[in-house]
Structure formats: C-alpha cells, structure tokens
Structure 1
Amino acid sequence: MVLRLNSTLLVALPLLLFAAAHGLVSYSEWRTVSGSSPGNGGGGGPSNDGSLNSGGVPTVDPPVVSSPATGLDANGNPANLNLSTVIPVAPPVPIPTVVTPYGPRGADHYAHAVPPKLEPQLDEDGDEFAMVPLSSGNSHTHLVKDGKAGEITRYTWSKLSADEPPVVTEPLASGSSAIKRFPVGKTRVRLEVEDNGGNTHQDDFVVDVEAPVQNGVYCYYYKGVTAAQRLPLDPRSSPKPVWAAAAPTMDFADASAFPAQGVGAAGKAFAQRCVFSLRVGATAATTFSVSGSGAVTLAIDNIFQALDIVGDAPSVTVTLAAGNHPVQVMYFAEDAGAAKLLLRVNGEALATKAALWDMRTVVPVLTTITPNVGSKQGGTTVHVNGVNFYSSVYTVTFGDLRGVKAVRTSRSVLTVNSPPVPADTTVPVVVSSKYGGSSNSIPFTYDGNAAPIRFKRQVVTQGGPDKKYVNNLGAAIAVGPDGRLYVGKKGHIHVLTISAGYDVTSACKTTGLSGMDQVTSVAFNPADTKLQLYAATSIIYYSEKENLPKTEWNNGKIVLLEPTAACMAVTKTVVSGLPVSDHDHVVAALVFDSAGRLRWSQGSFTNMGANTPTSGTGIGGLDEAPLSAALLVAPVNQPGFDGAVKWACDRTDPSKCKQSGGTDVKTFATGVRNSFGMMLHTNGFFYATDNGPNLSKDFGKRSTSCTTEADGPGWGDKLIKITDGKNQYFGHPNRARGAADKRQCVAYKPGGKVPAGATKEAAMFSGPPSHNGVMELMSNAFADAKHSLIVLQSAGKTQSSHLVSLNPAGDVTSITALNDGGLLGDTDAHGAILMTAYFPNELWVLVPSYARPSAAAPPFVSAVKPHRGRADGGNTVTVGGHNFGAAPTATFGGLPCTNVRRVAPDGTSFVCTTPKGTKGGFVKVEVTTAAGRKSQPSAGNGDFKYMEV
C-alpha cells in the first residue's frame, strides 16, 4: 500500500530531516483551465430538455440532468461566475539513469517509493474507464553521495496481477507523474524508484475505479423545513440541504436510522428528500405506499402525486412503462426524535437493485470551511469540508469571485486559495459541480488584520552574482547577533559573512565536532552579551549506517562554541546522553526562553508509539526512552547545572531505563513525535511544528494502551501551541512515561475529538510534508501581518511556506500559502528570511516585496535583530530599515540605544547596544536622523522584547 514517509525527516540529511510523504492527499501537478475534466466524452454532458434528473436521479446512461441551476449554462457548465476547474497534468518523463548501487548498508532505507494515496476514482463519462493521475512527488532518498543529498533518477509504474505475490503484467509509465486510463474495478499498481546511488525501492497500491450509477437511494436533509413550507421539485433549488447520504433502501424504522448530522435534536423539524431512479422491467401498475410519522410528498417522472401519511392517501398507484423512472420522496418530520418512514413498492420494501442513483449528479453540500477568515489580499488556504464530492470537477466561489487552485483532496474535502478583494467584507463560499448545481453557502470573512506577505526568492551567492553558494548537507541556520550567518552541517558549522545583497564575502568552519555529528539546530542565548553559539548534534542512523552498537542511542548532545582566532570551536558539552533514534529523529529545535533556559525537541523512537517487529520498525526498531518524543528544558546557565544525562540500565531496551544523571534536564511538554522547529513568540507562547506519522506498514503501529496497538493510517503535520507549566500531552505515545502517566500510552489523531488530558493542536497542515522551520514575523514592512508565524515546508521537490495568523489569545485564525520555502530559517534586520534549501544544496533568501520609501520620506524601521535581549541591556543589535542617514540615533521604549556603529553607507542599517529595560517589557524602536527627522511608530506590539533576566 501507500508508503507514507511523512516525518521521517532528515531524508537525506542523510536525512532531510524531513522528507517524506505524509501522504495526506494525492499530490499531483495541476493546472487551472476552463472547461470540463479529462475523460468526459461527447455523450457525458447534461442536456437541457427540462427533465429534473440532476440531484442524483439517473434516467439514461450517460445521465440527463435538469435545466441548469444558477451558475450553470444549458450544458451544465459553469457560467457567469468566472469559475475555474482543475485537471491533472503529467510532467516530462526523465531518462532513467543506470548506476551501480551505492551506500554502506541498509539500502532499503535509501530510496523510498511513495505512491499516491488514492480514493476511489469515478468513471465520469460512463465508458467503464477513468483517467487517473498518478503522482510520486514525495518519493525520495536518504542517500548522501559525494557530500550531497541524493535524488531519485527513475520512476517506473507497472500494472500487477492479482496473484500473491503479484507479478508485473504490463508497464504503465515512467516519470514522477503520469495520467493513465484504468477500467472500472480494482487494478493493482506498483511504483518502483531508483536513486542516483543505484538503490531501488518499490511499493504497491490499488487504483479503484467506480461506475457512476449505484444501487440504492440518495437522501438530502434540510433542518427546520416543515410540510407547510414544502420543497421544490428541483433538488438544486433553495432551500439548500445541510447534509446528504446514500442509503440502500427507504426503511427508516426509527429516529436512529436517519443520519444525526441531518436531522438535528429531538423536538426539531427537518425534511428529507430521497431521490432515485426506479428500474421497471415491464409496463405495469405500480403502487407506492408509505407509513410512519410526519408528512410525505411523492414525485414520479417529475409529477407530484397525492400521497400523504397524515392525509387520506397513504398510497398511490401509477402505470409505469418499462425503463427507468425518476422518483423523489419528500418527508417532513415535526419532531426529529420521533421520525419514522417506510416506503413500500407493490407492498414490498424497495429492492436495492431496482433503485439507482448517480454519483455524478448529487448536489454538493457544505458543512464547514477552515479557516473562515483570511486576508483581503487573498491567498488564504481554505479547506472546504462537505459531503460526497464524487466528481473530479468542482468550482469554489467567494461571493462573485473565483477561488484559486481549487483541488479535490478527498470525497469530503476541497482545498482552495481565497481570491483578493478590495476591502474587508464577508462573502458566501459556494461549491458548484458540473452536474449537480450549487451547494449551500458558508460565510467567509475578509479581515485586513490577516493580510499576507509577499516575498521574492533569491539564492545566496559566493564570490559573485552568478556563483551560487554550495550548501551541501546544511540543515540548521541562524543569523547571529554579529550579523553573520551560521549554517549547521555534518561535522561542522559554516560561519558566513554576507553582504547586503546576500553574497558570501568570507567563510570559516568550526572545529571540535566529529565527522559523524550532524548539526540539526543552532541558537544564540539572547541573555548573552558575548558571542556564544549553542549547537544540537546527533549521530543519525548511528547503527544502520555508522556501524555503532544499537545501544548507542544516547549519542545526542548540545555543545557550546566560542570564537577563536580562526573561527569558532567547541569549548564545552552542555548536555549529553540524549536519546536519538536509529533513523533521523534527533535533538533539534533549540530555543531560549525568557529566563535564559534552553528548550529543545527530542525526537521519537517509534512511528506511532508501538515498536512492533512484526509490523515494521522503520523509525529505528527501539521502544521509546523516558526523554524521547518530548520537548525538554534545562537551566544551562544555572550554577552547578548538571547536563550529563546518564541511564541506569544496559541500554538494550530504552523503555526500561531510568534517568540517573543530568536530572536538571526535564520534559516540559510530551507527546511530540518529531518537532524540527520551535520558537518563543513575543506573546509568551511557544510554537512548534510536529511531523505526523507514516502508515503502520514498515514503520510501526499506533499504541492504543500501554500494552495494545492497532494499525494506523498516518496523518499530516501539525502546529502546536505550548504553554509552559501546563504538562501538555500532544498525542504521540511514550510507554516508558506511560507507566506513570496513562494518557501517554494512547495515540490520538489530530483534527478530531481530543481525549481527556491531551492538548489539541493549534493547526493542521495539508499537502506534502515536512513542515519544520517556524519563526515570528517581526518586520514592519507588512504591518497587518506583524507577529504572525512563518512556517517552512521542505520535502524532496516541494519547498513552500505558510503565513499563520494569530489572534490576541495566540490561537490560529488562518493559514495563507506562500510561494517558496525551505527546511529551517531565520529572519534578519531587513525582514528577509534566510533558509536552508536542503535538497537543492543551496541557501535561499525570501526578500520582502513592498514599496520602499522615497529618499524624501522619514526614516523607516524594518526590524531589529535580535529582537530579544536581557533586561539589564547590553545586547548588540542591528536595526534595519531605510533613510537612516550617516549618523542616526535610536531609542528603545524612549531610552537611547548607545554606541551606534557600523552604519551602512546607504542608510539601511546600523548597530547599537540596547539600554536597560523592564523585565518582560515589549518596546517600540524609534530612529532619528542627524537632521532630526523621526521614524513613524512601528506596527504591532513592539520591536524588541526584554527577557526576565
């Protein structure tokens, strides 16, 4: 089945610490076009003959649909709404490369085939075939060759037999994506990939194509509609349904037989409209009768019949010719708790095979949209949740405007980006299908305070604009208080001096790390007034690839580096003995809190909490350790601090070990599977990304108690909001801690009901993994978006980022997709984001796009770097912006920033030393030129945050 490498991050770090495919949705390449979906033949379109057969009622094959609802023309196509549809497009097919397998051991953990996770596909034109997009955008390799991240060079798709084991019966395609024709039924398919080291991997999956006409009936539900109000004959007219569901027959024996989502609470009125086509073998008199409670209206061949449970006509007889006849049964219940309806045809229950409905023609029904607020500049990624989106072609409108890049990710979810609007407003979101008319509406609010940002990506160069800096295996990154860029790699940290145009003008390498140490995070303590760098290191694949004993899972450490004459060197091991999986879940996400304590993430040893050899041990094959799958804290600058973590055990089974040393290192949040990025927001909350689990196959099952487990489908990445001191559990089990805290033995899937004692995620991310870097937007260039989060995503060929807007309580209000992203990142004083682009082996910069002030304008403060410092002052900071002149001065909360120096010749930055402030204070920065011109007040809550120390 689908291999869903979602978090296993470091995919080629040898890792990328993230690559891999959550596989939340089939990830194909799409292009927006006008018109119909591929595979819709000339006979597949609806007619305009006046028959009312849309709402799921087929009369012929292909179906005949009724006269068009609003937004559709006579042929059933979108009209007058400026709508768009989406179709899959296959990219060019690469030429296979034949090489000799490369790599020390564990070739099965190099190349990874990640086929699409496909829901059943629909034969939309009724020709017993469907054009199905196949995509392997998240296939990847953990190979490192010649000091560079590996790449997949061959993709081969093949049809398989039904044998066990299956054999290849037919080659289908080459290339990472393809569109192929599949017959109705289930077809087994294999994807095989090969990397540039010659390592291969294959995975099998099933393409299921369904015929559009199904046995049974299709029912719509309307809350609060009474018999007196009635329902129109056309299911696409108002009122719009709020729920819909298929049923095998019309035997609703009591209230529990109706879907709870459609009927509401006891005592409330609702209406049900069931549509189907009745198959009649020969011309005959046919009697329809009903029983139950409430009122019923019957329509046969689009003609209302005199049938009413509460009236004098509980049955009606009509003569029907041989063939299919559209039928509608409209039921009105005054009390949902007492609802009951039974339909009989010629005295017998409706035969399932005699009743038919068409998946193409159902009216879409919306239930929720998430988020329901976004930027007036557009770009907010909205998840439209609804019922049974069977067709491939749906359009989403925001008022009169077309949504951008509408994609059906499942039969219950569409994703779309909101279009821009000229002013704040609230508009109805409506979904239209080619066949079934338009849905009910849900309001979406445009709020300028959620405004997005726009960047232009450029590549960091070295020695000239045409010479890209080569970032082999660089993952961690930080902008230092000295203005230099620190990039963590394998065996060293590269320290880069960069120009204002992001060109490396000089570089040096740190010393003191072993060649096996992968640097996965670097950070500076804002409480320090001298230059000191903290680095998290781990030996990933320590047994599988580095040939260390399996007991060396405690190889993680955090070290301190200080300047030397040549560069920087390790001067101290701050924390040691930290748990690391024999895969790529590591010590990561270093951040200092307001008291100067160090916080970080400790990756998991398991996929979903259970290390079950029979179901796969792809994360490393060991049970969780007491400190794994958690966020940790250590007062590293406290006198007498002991960070030498020791374990009382033989280390063959981490779950049996007890922490016997380094007890100053503790957990402050648990149930975090694999967070690669964490930050402290100026609102006081920590935010962290967390990579979701893979499928149980090959990677390990979902822990359901301290002793039981079950299969798990895997799920996507999430963002979590952490409150210090709350002992929060975020859902990834650790049985080693579960002995004393039973909630930590049970995994829970985000997005649903949260079990007692667990903490709900702040947000879920759709699309490919892996979401890693997270930072606060402190730039004044985008005033409405200041203090929002930027989350970076990087996995294989996909690199993107998201703007996450927060409300005053620190909760997520919207997520807006941005164009480019990377693995990990940090901001500078000009509001730019510098990122490691791991797979391209480059460093990227997202430079904010905004109108620069004219030379005659007053000074403008872009940002301050770093934006946190000690309450006693004395921190070196860079103030970035425009029009500072040759001799600027600055105040922090009205107090002067002293020792102004390193003023940029073009007046865009300078360095100064922060004044003393109030503990926890958040101040704005004002710049004054030599001529006395002052900058305007900064946006948001402030520019510089004072710590509690």
Structure 2
Amino acid sequence: MKDNKATSVHHPDYAQRGTQSCRRSSRWLRLGVVLLLLAVGVSAAVWAKGRGYKTAMLRVIFPESPVYLSKPTVVAVRPADMTGGVPPDAFIAADVRLPNKGKVIDRKTLENGVMLLKGNAREKVPALVNTSGGGDAIVLRPLKPLELNALYTFEVLPALKDTGGASFEQHSTTFSTAAGTVYSEFPAAAVKVEQPLSAGNWYTGLAFGPDERLYASTIAGQVVRFDVAADGSLSAPKVITTVLAANQGPRIMTGLTFDPAATRDNPIIYVAHGTFPFDRMPEGDNVRSKAGTPHGMSKKVIPDWSGKISRLSGPNLENYQDIVVGLPRARHDHTTGQISFGPDGAMYFAQASNTAMGEADHEWGYRPERLLTACVMRLDMKRLSSLPLNSQTAGAEVNYDPFADGAPLTIVATGTRNCYDLLFHSNGRFYATLNGSARGGNTPAGGPSDVRRFDQAAAGGYDGPTVPGLKEVGTQNDYLLRLESGGYYGHPNPLRAEFVMNGGNPTAAIDACEVAEYPVGVVPDRNYRFPSFDFGKNLSPCGMTEYRGQAFPALRGKVLVVRFSGGKDIIALTPGDDGDIRHFVTNLDGFTHFHDPVDLCVSPATGYIYVAEHTGRKITLLRPTEQNRSASAIQQDVIPPGRNGPASILPMVSTPRE
C-alpha cells in the first residue's frame, strides 16, 4: 500500500490527469452556477415584466451597461409646439430630463441627434448645436436668420445620447415664423476679420496689456500673447505655459486681468484657475496627451477646494506665485470667474455655485454648496500677511473665516450662481453677468436656525418663514446684475441661511423673477435685489466690457455682452440714470453668428473689438464697415424686472419690413 500510494501521488502522468480532472470539474461547476443564475435572472425578469423590477435587476447585475439605462427625454421646447409668429432671429432651446445618475448629454452626439427642418420637404437648416456647461440643456442656433412665414420642425433623435450611452426618446415640435418683423437702422456695423494665427485654442478670456499686445487665456491654462498691427491683425503668437508648469498639468483658466500697476516693461497679470475637467475635455484639444493627468488623479475626479488665483510676472510671464488657494470647485464647469480691480484698488471676483439651484443633485455629483460659493468676493491684498492665502472654509487644518476682523478675503454680494465676468462701469455701477440654471435642479428647505447669515452683524439671524425645498425645478433666466454690497441675487446657499431662489412666489399674480414651483406666499430673501436686465432663458451671457473706443462712436458707454449659447452674438445694453438697463440693441451687422463667443475686449489704441470664440477655437477681429451703419438692427426700450412687475419690453416705434 505504501508503494502504491507513493506511485499514485508522485507519478507525473497520474498527477497531470488528476489536476486536469479537477480543473474540468471546477470549470463545469462555475458554468453550471452561471447558467443557474442566468436562468433565475431570466425567469425573474419575465415574471417582473410590467412591474418595473426587470430594469432594477439589470441595474444591479450590469451597473455600467447602457442596456438598463433609462431614456433621457425632452420635457419642454422654446418656442413651444405650434407657436406662430416666431421672429427670424430666434434660436431653439430644449429642457431635458436626465434620469441616469451622473450622466449628462454627450456633446459628441449633438450633431447627428438634434436638427431643425424647414417645410414639408424637411430641408435641414444649417445650425450650431450645443449644450450647457453642465450638459443639461439643448440649444440650436441657425447659422442664418429663418425665413419669414415658414414652417419649421425641431427634432431630437435617438442618435442623441447621454454620457452613459442611453439614447434619447425621439421628440418633435413645430413652429412657424412671423410674416414680417420690425427692424431699424443703427449707426454701427462691423466686418469680421479672421485671424488665422489665433486658430486652434479653446479660448476663455481676452485682455490688452500695457505693452499694447493682446493676451488670451485658454481652457487648459495657457496664456497666448499676440502682437497687434495698426490694422488690428494679430501676429507672432507666443504660448506661455507657466501655469501648467507650476501645477504639473493643465488647469481650467477662466480669464486674466492686468495689475493696475503693470507697465510695458513690467507686465503683471492675475489668473483664476481650477482643476482641469478631464471627464469633460473638448474633442481634439492637444493638451491632454502632452500634459497627462496632474497629481496622478483619476480622469473623472474633480477635487473640491482646488481653485486658485495666481500672479504671473516677468518679461514673458515666467514667474509664478499663488495668491489665493483653496477656493471651491464644482463637479462640472463652475469655477472661479474672471477678475476685476475696483476703483478702490482691491481685487474682485465671483465664485460660482457647486449646485444647480442650491441643493445637491445627481447631475452635479451631490457636491454641496460651500460658504464661499455663489458669491462675489473682495480681496484686499494689503491685508495679506503671507502667500498664499488658504481660503478653504471646511475640512482644513485651520478653516478660513471671511467674517473675521481684518480678513483679507471677504464677501461682497451673495446668490450669484455663475457670474462669468464683472464690470466696473464709468457710471459708477458694478455689473455682473449671471447664468441661470437649466431644468432639473433642487432648492433647499430651510427656516430659523443658528446658521450665520452674511448680514448677521447688521440684521441678525434668519427671521423669515420656513421655506419648502423643491425638486426638478424648471429652467431659470439669465440676468445682468447691478451689484450692491450686501445684496442677495437669487441662488440659495444653506450655509449662509439663504433658502429662497430668485424672487420666490409672493402672490398669485405673475411676480418679477418668480419661481412658479413655490407655493404662493413664499417671499424673497430679505436681501434680494432684482436684476438690472433680463436676458431670458438659455442665452448664457459671459464676457462683457464697456465700450470706450472711437471706432464705433454710437456704442460708447454701452455694455457689450457676448451671449455664448442661444444668442451667439454681441448685445449692446444702455444703462439709464439709475444704472439699470433701459435699452438694448441686437442684430448689428458683424455682431452676430459667432461660434460660442465667451469673451470680448476692445483695443485701447484703435477701438476695434476682439471676440474669443470658444468652440470655434479662434479670435475674431471686428472693424467698422465703411458706412458703419446697420440697416436691420433690433432695438427696444425695456423696464427692468421688479420696477414695475415682471420685466417689460416696450413697443418699438418702427415699420415692419417684409
């Protein structure tokens, strides 16, 4: 027995056969288990048909498969179905429902998934289609004005998908254009001059330096410097990568501004930047392959508290110094806004919200608001005892307190959801462009508590009624704000005991800036300030400037704003004596049909206008035409919202043109 046992154990042939037999048995066992589970799953799915259990089961078994994902849908379109009399310069916007957690509209599918068709022949209308920064809305802008008295069909097809691969449910609406429209002449018109040497970058901001050169920021943290010829043409581009080098990779830079003390020989700029959004990288950008992923982080992780303001100096801006670190960073494109220096010499900037409407939601990664989100701040650099200032207000070794005596970084105004740009106007007013939320956000519930208010020292704690929270609220309007110290401008933040979005819903009538989802009787926050101008929905006002040049005399003193999304143009706003906007002009020759304009600036030497076209990946020069006159301008007087009920557009005095 002893020899037989030894033979059976150690003989190579027997050992190999035994091992193979065990492996075969193990494989058959695993296969049997899989088949059994599959049979149980199929049986359960068949039994669950019609009961809603099948999708839930598939979600558990295949959590990342598009098989189980719910279909995103279109819930509203502007203009609405069967609308007549639509103006020829209209754009189409669609609110969507995105049911799959963390999934937003896949930008790469917009071109084939959204279209506008003309007439019964269904002729496709050339158009630009984009989504919002959060990927939660659809905007289609025709490349040319629509024909008068014509029928159009707007379609969303299953070719449109979310980022999980789920196809949209097909949706179709029709509308007809007006038989005529009202135009007027206006003494300003431009010719667009392409600047080929600017091509290839996703620009985010523009500024002229004291050396009479044009400086442009990019989405990946580069600064591009151009020489400017007498005719306005750009040449000799120099790409400055100081921010990338200092941060070991790309950073999303929203803009740049020059220090008031900067000179031709001593250029000093300040830039606002945050963690680069690797999960939202535009197609074709040449930075990802070169720079890699900073700090070894996951491409889908955007850490909070990663915002910065930094100073670049030296002949080629080669010197880098962080001034403020630890600023909040939203999951999507909400970051620190563009920087402006005030007449008091202090630095001002807006920090965007972390959420759509004040309460965390799945589209924005359930990241809550912070004490310094959705607000405009003032930095007194004379109070900085050391650099950099860590502004992180929670979770730090020492949390920053903006309310402390002598604090260098303080809050000026709150409720500013996403203000891309700030402007100190020569009329003494302080303006901000504000982007309202797309549909689907949540607002916080709240009431009396011990949470410190922004105005606590002057007015005490929150003394208003209990405010109900809302879910999946509709799209909010975009505004121009006239900022006042201590003002609240409509975006809730529970950490400051600010709960009511915009104007609430105080009466059963149509109230200014109301949120109709609130029950009647919800009054605005005690610090609420009405906006200076109502752009409407889905326009996305971004960069702005006061025109002070000589090339377009009729625009002097007007606030020029680029409208990134629905407008894709420049609107000229005229402030009244009180600082609120009382008149606007659009449809000027050469001022329309840009490719997602995000910023603009004016040459101090010539008065020519430069426009940064973000997804167009170029800078366009606007020079006056020989006549400098537009025959088809659209201009109207307006009453700002809240001054006499909702915002009003007064009748134009002109004649229709067929």
What TM bracket, shorter-length normalisation?
Answer: 0.5 to 0.7
- Please give the residue correspondences for 1:413-428 in structure 2 after superposition, counting only pairs within 5 Å: 418-420=183-185
1:650-673 Cα deviation digits (max 9, x unpaired): 379xxx996699941111111111
Find the partner of 1:477 among 206, 209, 221: 206
Residue 620 and residue 476 in structure 1: after superposition, are their counterparts in 2 closer, same or farther (change >3 A)?
farther
1:679-730 Cα deviation digits (max 9, x unpaired): 110111111111110111xxx313354674213111231111113xx30111
Give the AA of the match of 2:181: G
Please name the residue that 1:675 is paired with: 419
Q: Is the 8 A contact 1:513 1:570 kept in 2?
A: no
Secondary structure of 1:475 counterpart: strand
**1:769 Cα deviation from its structure 2 partner:** 2.7
Please name the residue that 1:812 is paired with: 581
Find the partner of 1:802 among 567, 571, 576: 571
Q: Distance in 2 between matches of 1:774 and 1:470?
A: 22
Secondary structure of 1:765 counterpart: strand
Find the partner of 1:592 among 307, 326, 341: 341
Please name the residue that 1:74 is paired with: none
Q: Percentage identity across aligned positions?
A: 19
1:624-674 Cα deviation digits (max 9, x unpaired): 01001111110124563665124364379xxx9966999411111111111
Find the partner of 1:734 among 493, 513, 533: 493
- Please give the residue correspondences for 1:371-410 in structure 2 after superposition, counting only pairs within 5 Å: 392=176, 403-404=181-182
Q: Distance in 2 between matches of 1:781 and 1:491?
A: 32
Please name the residue that 2:442 is paired with: 701
Q: Distance in 2 between matches of 1:518 and 1:551?
A: 11
Give the AA of the match of 1:845: L
- Please give the residue correspondences for 1:341-352 in structure 2 after superposition, counting only pairs within 5 Å: none
Please name the residue that 1:791 is paired with: 561
**Correspondence 1:456 to 2:226:** no
Please name the residue that 1:192 is paired with: 159
Please name the residue that 2:620 is paired with: 844
Residue 25 and residue 116 in structure 1: after superposition, are their counterparts in 2 closer, same or farther (change >3 A)?
farther
Secondary structure of 2:250 counterpart: coil
Secondary structure of 2:549 counterpart: coil
Q: Distance in 2 between matches of 1:693 and 1:591?
A: 24
Q: Distance in 2 between matches of 1:107 and 1:714?
A: 16
Q: Distance in 2 between matches of 1:601 and 1:470?
A: 29
Secondary structure of 2:304 counterpart: helix
**Correspondence 1:719 to 2:488:** no
Please name the residue that 2:4 is paired with: none
- Please give the residue correspondences for 1:315-326 in structure 2 after superposition, counting only pairs within 5 Å: none
Secondary structure of 2:418 counterpart: coil
Q: Distance in 1 between matches of 2:468 and 2:124?
A: 38
Residue 812 and residue 643 in structure 1: after superposition, are their counterparts in 2 closer, same or farther (change >3 A)?
farther
Give the AA of the match of 1:454: A
Residue 497 and residue 203 in structure 1: after superposition, are their counterparts in 2 closer, same or farther (change >3 A)?
same
Q: Is the 8 A contact 1:788 1:806 kept in 2?
A: yes
Q: Is the 8 A contact 1:112 1:201 kept in 2?
A: no
Give the AA of the match of 1:802: I
**1:570 Cα deviation from its structure 2 partner:** 3.6
Residue 611 and residue 205 in structure 1: after superposition, are their counterparts in 2 closer, same or farther (change >3 A)?
farther
Give the AA of the match of 1:482: D
Residue 143 and residue 767 in structure 1: after superposition, are their counterparts in 2 closer, same or farther (change >3 A)?
closer
Q: Is the 8 A contact 1:716 1:766 kept in 2?
A: yes
Secondary structure of 1:775 counterpart: strand
Residue 681 and residue 701 in structure 1: after superposition, are their counterparts in 2 closer, same or farther (change >3 A)?
same
Q: Distance in 2 between matches of 1:511 and 1:90?
A: 38
Residue 758 and residue 117 in structure 1: after superposition, are their counterparts in 2 closer, same or farther (change >3 A)?
farther
Give the AA of the match of 1:558: I
Q: How high is the TM-score relative to the length of structure 1?
A: 0.43
Please name the residue that 1:555 is paired with: 306
Give the AA of the match of 1:559: S
1:63-118 Cα deviation digits (max 9, x unpaired): xxxxxxxxxxxxxxxxxxxxx98689999xxxxxxxxxxxxx97866557699999
- Please give the residue correspondences for 1:648-659 in structure 2 after superposition, counting only pairs within 5 Å: 649-650=394-395
Please name the residue that 1:769 is paired with: 539
Residue 638 and residue 513 in structure 1: after superposition, are their counterparts in 2 closer, same or farther (change >3 A)?
same
**Correspondence 1:645 to 2:380:** no
Q: Distance in 1 between matches of 2:557 and 2:352?
A: 28
**Correspondence 1:583 to 2:583:** no
Please name the residue that 2:64 is paired with: none
**1:194 Cα deviation from its structure 2 partner:** 6.4
Secondary structure of 1:513 counterpart: helix
- Please give the residue correspondences for 1:540-551 in structure 2 after superposition, counting only pairs within 5 Å: 540-541=276-277, 547=297
Greater strand percent: which structure? 1
Q: Distance in 2 between matches of 1:107 and 1:701?
A: 16
**1:539 Cα deviation from its structure 2 partner:** 1.2
Q: Distance in 1 between matches of 2:494 and 2:126?
A: 37
Structure number with bigger Rg: 1
Secondary structure of 2:231 counterpart: coil
Please name the residue that 1:512 is paired with: 242
Q: Distance in 2 between matches of 1:487 and 1:503?
A: 15
Please name the residue that 1:266 is paired with: none
Give the AA of the match of 1:804: L
Please name the residue that 1:26 is paired with: 79
Give the AA of the match of 1:516: P
Secondary structure of 2:160 counterpart: strand
Find the partner of 2:602 among 827, 830, 846: 827
- Please give the residue correspondences for 1:34-183 in structure 2 after superposition, counting only pairs within 5 Å: 110-111=107-108, 138-140=129-131, 179=152
Q: Is the 8 A contact 1:511 1:568 kept in 2?
A: no
Please name the residue that 1:635 is paired with: 380
Q: Distance in 2 between matches of 1:766 and 1:484?
A: 35
Give the AA of the match of 1:701: N
**Correspondence 1:535 to 2:271:** yes
Q: How high is the TM-score relative to the length of structure 2?
A: 0.61
* Greater relative CO, 1 or 2 (CA 8 Å, sep 6+): 2
Give the AA of the match of 1:552: P
Secondary structure of 1:667 counterpart: strand
Give the AA of the match of 1:816: V
Q: Distance in 1 between matches of 2:417 and 2:349?
A: 13
Gaps of 5+ in 1: 1-20, 31-36, 38-83, 92-104, 119-128, 145-150, 154-176, 182-187, 210-390, 396-401, 405-417, 421-450, 463-468, 853-949
Residue 844 and residue 767 in structure 1: after superposition, are their counterparts in 2 closer, same or farther (change >3 A)?
farther
Greater helix percent: which structure? 2
Q: Is the 8 A contact 1:717 1:765 kept in 2?
A: yes
Q: Is the 8 A contact 2:159 2:167 kept in 1?
A: yes
Residue 523 and residue 605 in structure 1: after superposition, are their counterparts in 2 closer, same or farther (change >3 A)?
same
Q: Distance in 2 between matches of 1:657 and 1:571?
A: 23
Q: What do you get for the CA RMSD once the two structures are aligned? A: 4.6
1:550-589 Cα deviation digits (max 9, x unpaired): 683111111111124xx22243111111111011001112
Q: Distance in 1 between matches of 2:203 and 2:502?
A: 33
1:378-405 Cα deviation digits (max 9, x unpaired): xxxxxxxxxxxxx95656xxxxxx633x
Gaps of 5+ in 2: 1-73, 93-101, 141-149, 282-292, 448-466, 505-510, 515-522, 629-658
Q: Distance in 1 between matches of 2:91 and 2:166?
A: 22
Please name the residue that 1:488 is paired with: 217
Q: Distance in 2 between matches of 1:90 and 1:712?
A: 22
Q: Distance in 2 between matches of 1:132 and 1:609?
A: 42
Q: Is the 8 A contact 1:132 1:179 kept in 2?
A: no
Aligned residues: 463
Q: Is the 8 A contact 2:602 2:610 kept in 1?
A: yes
Give the AA of the match of 2:363: G
Q: Distance in 2 between matches of 1:88 and 1:817?
A: 10
Secondary structure of 2:337 counterpart: strand
Q: Is the 8 A contact 1:561 1:569 kept in 2?
A: yes
Q: Is the 8 A contact 1:605 1:620 kept in 2?
A: no
Residue 501 and residue 648 in structure 1: after superposition, are their counterparts in 2 closer, same or farther (change >3 A)?
closer
1:894-937 Cα deviation digits (max 9, x unpaired): xxxxxxxxxxxxxxxxxxxxxxxxxxxxxxxxxxxxxxxxxxxx
